[in-house]
Amino acid sequence: MAKTRTAYFCQSCGHESAKWLGKCPSCSQWNTFVEEIIEKGNVSIPDWKNGSTSTQRSNKPAAIHDIIYSEENRLITPDNELNRVLGGGIVSGSMVLIGGEPGIGKSTLMLQVALNLPGLKVLYISGEESEQQIKMRAERLVKVPDKESSNVPGVADTYILTETSTQNIFKQIEILEPDLVVVDSIQTLYSAHIESTPGSVSQVRECTAELLRFAKESGTPVFLIGHITKDGMIAGPKILEHMVDTVLQFEGDRHHVYRILRAVKNRFGSASELGIYEMLGSGLREVSNPSEILLSQRDEPLSGITISVILEGLRPMLIETQALVSVSAYGTPQRSGTGFDTKRMNMLLAVLEKKCGFKLSTQDVFLNIAGGLRVEDPAIDLAVVVAIISSHEDMPVDSKVCFAAEVGLSGEIRAVNRIEQRIAEAEKLGFEKIFISKYNLPAGKKVQDGQNWKKYKIEINTVAKVEEVFNALFG
């Protein structure tokens, strides 16, 4: 029997200490250390490839030119939004962690994916709900057939297991041999090798390590659903996010129907992709064209509203920027931005006052990105500036005009990347005019070749200064 050892773990970051500390030296949080009993014996590690067990595995170093590389084998799901966020599909042997607010739809998303994978055996492990609760949700998502007529692809190959012990889970995995494993949630599992409560730092770390070993040795992808803290961070030790291959964040307001699946970390693709869903009574519906839901339909022109073309990963979309400028009723003017960095908004206001002569130091300025998105693409700068001036002068901007350019500190219009992709998206949605930087050139063109945008039907206005935009729009 191995000797029992006691250690103290920070519940915020997972830092381990031999004694109790008032302040964590890693994350600087106070009163977060909890004592946990750790007991590990000589545990045999299962070898998932040949079904045997071995207490010691040895790997030999290999020269890099001797390593045979092949494209990773990806599982393409019927959910195109999930495929995009994962980088093209589910990679064999990968481990994906999904976090989000309670009730946002994490379990619904994963159960919907499990029920719609034809020809693949999926094991859905739940430590939070009973089999009847999961069956009730499945009936809402798809029409689950009776046992006698169970011929619906995907549904017939989905198995539900309500278990929290990892030892019992691995026994059922060995019997079933699934092609995909979903765990809901990692904070409810516990391993008999650790004498601490489920959800503690050591239990979460040990259970994740066991599942990670299974995924890498068997080549079976594993999805983990994780809780989040009140600050929006994934609960448990920070090492949990380092251990997995992909971390996805499921965002959205429960009072609105739209949900955003965002990649925070991805070893097999871009970490800046996002997928958009609409929450319906029958489950999550993919939104293939997000520009249509992010642009409001209005009958008459309104001041303070502009359209910009942004990129989220490789995906272009048009969003609506709303600005409101009014006289400050207090001594200090208010600056508020929803979905946009307030510090950057203050910088753009300083440019308008210093370089363009607009007196905004005594004005309240409120900025909102419609649709609940948070935008970090600098190509939205020009649309923000025009929306602020449109509200300040109470002069509307044509709804068929859009913008895609960055604004510098001296008032110059700076070029942005992938401009042709942005122009094509604006043209596809029926816009008639787009303002871009004078220094944006078509792909493959040199400076001396000039700017050749004749292949587009949309009118392209190239500008170098903010004043040129104001003259073209407001005269």
**Selection from 429, 416, 418 nearest residue 458 by Cα:** 429
Same domain, 119 and 155: yes
What pLDDT is recorded for position 57? 54
What pLDDT is recorded for position 54? 45
Identify residue 45 by its one-letter amino acid code: I
Question: Which structure tokens are listed for 25?
Answer: 């030296």
Residue 107 annotated as binding site: yes
> Once rounded to an integer, what is the mean pLDDT over residues 76-90?
92
What pLDDT is recorded for position 55? 43
What pLDDT is recorded for position 92? 92
Let me know if residue 321 belongs to a domain. Answer: yes
Domains in the chain, number: 3
Backbone dihedral angles phi then psi of residue 272, each to the nearest 5 degrees: -115, 10
Place of tokens 């392209």: 460
pLDDT tens digits for range 317-338: 999 999 999 998 877 889 999 9
Same domain, 231 and 302: no
Q: Quick check: 84 pLDDT over 50?
A: yes
Q: In this predicted model, which residue has the larger pLDDT, 338 or 13?
A: 338
**Selection from 407, 374, 373, 372 nearest residue 388 by Cα:** 407
Same domain, 280 and 314: no
Let me know if residue 214 belongs to a domain. Answer: yes
Residue 304 annotated as binding site: no
Let me know if residue 3 belongs to a domain. Answer: yes
pLDDT tens digits for range 45-74: 455 544 444 444 567 888 988 888 777 788
Supply angle C-alpha 165, 236, 42, rounded to 5. Answer: 45
**Selection from 223, 178, 202, 171 nearest residue 46 by Cα:** 171
Return left, alpha or beta for 199; rule: phi > 0 is left, psi -120 to 50 is alpha, else beta. Answer: left
Contact 234, 97 (CB under 8 A): yes
Domain-terminating residue out of 288, 316, 345? 288
Residue count of the chain: 475
Residue 131 annotated as binding site: no
Let me know if residue 216 belongs to a domain. Answer: yes
Same domain, 350 and 406: yes
Q: Quick check: 41 pLDDT over 70?
A: no
What pLDDT is recorded for position 258? 83
What pLDDT is recorded for position 185? 86
Q: Quick check: 451 pLDDT over 60?
A: no
> Once rounded to an integer, what is the mean pLDDT over residues 166-190?
93
Domain that holds residue 15: 1-42
What pLDDT is recorded for position 36? 78
* DSSP H or E stretch at residue 182: strand 180-184
What pLDDT is recorded for position 154? 58
Tell me the C-alpha distance between 431 and 80, whole Å: 26
Q: What is the DSSP letter of 356?
A: S
**Selection from 69, 68, 70, 44 nearest residue 57 by Cα:** 44
Let me know if residue 57 belongs to a domain. Answer: no
Task: Work out the pLDDT band at 447, boundaries 50, 70, 90.
Answer: very low
In whole angstroms, how far apart are CA 118 and each of 19, 31, 52, 129, 339?
Answer: 52, 49, 30, 24, 39
Residue 104 annotated as binding site: yes
Same domain, 271 and 297: no
Percent with pLDDT over 90 in the chain = 47
Cβ burial of 21 (10 Å; 0-12, 13-18, 19+) is middle
Same domain, 337 and 456: yes
Contact 200, 38 (CB under 8 A): no
**pTM value?**
0.76
Instruction: For helices 381-393 and 466-474, give the axis angle rounded to 10 degrees.
Output: 50
Q: Quick check: 123 pLDDT over 80?
A: yes
Tell me the C-alpha distance between 332 and 329, whole Å: 8
What pLDDT is recorded for position 448? 39
In whole angstroms, how far apart are CA 135 and each of 77, 131, 143, 189?
Answer: 21, 6, 11, 21
Let me know if residue 53 belongs to a domain. Answer: no
Same domain, 283 and 297: no
Domain-terminating residue out of 264, 288, 312? 288
Sign, CA torsion 421/422/424/425: positive
Q: In this predicted model, which residue has the larger pLDDT, 29 or 253?
A: 29
Contacts of 146 by beta carbon, 8 Å cutoff, 6+ apart: none
Least confident of 116-120, 292-296, 371-375: 292-296
Same domain, 20 and 126: no
Least confident of 24-28, 324-328, 458-462: 24-28
Q: Quick check: 435 pLDDT over 90?
A: yes
Q: Quick check: 202 pLDDT over 70?
A: yes
Tell me the C-alpha distance between 234 and 247, whole Å: 10
Same domain, 79 and 174: yes
Task: Work out the pLDDT band at 222, boundaries 50, 70, 90.
Answer: very high
Let me know if residue 49 belongs to a domain. Answer: no
Domain-terminating residue out of 259, 288, 317? 288
Tell me the C-alpha distance between 138 and 409, whole Å: 54
Same domain, 247 and 382: no
Q: Quick check: 450 pLDDT over 70?
A: no
Identify residue 269 by its one-letter amino acid code: G
336, β-bridge pairs = 366
Residue 105 annotated as binding site: yes
Sign, CA torsion 156/89/233/104: negative
Place of tokens 């990773």: 72
Q: Radius of gyration over alpha carbons of the chain, in Å?
A: 27
Tell me the C-alpha distance between 352 and 466, whole Å: 9
CATH of the domain at 138: 3.40.50.300
Same domain, 273 and 314: no
Let me know if residue 274 belongs to a domain. Answer: yes
In whole angstroms, how far apart are CA 373 and each of 51, 261, 340?
Answer: 48, 11, 9
Same domain, 432 and 316: yes
Q: Quick check: 229 pLDDT over 60?
A: yes
Residue 101 annotated as binding site: yes
CATH of the domain at 428: 3.30.230.10
CB atoms near residue 209 (< 10 Å)? 14
Mean pLDDT of all residues in the chain? 85
